[in-house]
Amino acid sequence: DAGITQSPRHKVTETGTPVTLRCHQTENHRYMYWYRQDPGHGLRLIHYSYGVKDTDKGEVSDGYSVSRSKTEDFLLTLESATSSQTSVYFCAISESRATEAFFGQGTRLTVV
């Protein structure tokens, strides 16, 4: 299995609080992605990174920010959590856009 770990695996938080999810990889892959998965929508890209300090927005980036200060870590921050951000969040890594992607186990976030 590819070395990719998400933390925490489950979190319940209150509306308006900041939340940070962590994705850690041991594969030295260049690309890292954050997706959210919601019923009826499939996986939707929030943000991605193509190198240290190089990030870009995906289709559902509003309300989220990311940081990548090291190759192995990609952090997703909800600055002020809202109930619409209740979802399952997946991190993925790949060597390039044309190679296989490996997924973390997911983080189930509930905003109450």
> By the criterion CB under 8 A, which residues form the site for another protein?
31, 33, 35, 40-45, 48, 50, 56, 58, 90, 92, 97-106
If the CB atoms of residues 14 and 98 are measured against another protein, the closer one turns out to be: 98
Q: CA–CA separation, 31 vs 20, rounded Å?
A: 19
Tokens 């489950």 — which residue? 10
Q: CA–CA separation, 78 vs 4, rounded Å?
A: 21
Supply the minimum distance, in Å, between the C-beta of residue 19 and another protein: 21
If the CB atoms of residues 26 and 99 are measured against another protein, the closer one turns out to be: 99
Supply the minimum distance, in Å, between the C-beta of residue 70 and another protein: 19
Supply the minimum distance, in Å, between the C-beta of residue 36 and another protein: 11
Residue 54, amino acid: D
Sheet holding 4-7: strands in order across? 4-7, 19-25, 73-78, 64-70
Q: CA–CA separation, 65 vs 46, rounded Å?
A: 9
Supply the minimum distance, in Å, between the C-beta of residue 80 and another protein: 26
If the CB atoms of residues 16 and 51 are measured against another protein, the closer one turns out to be: 51
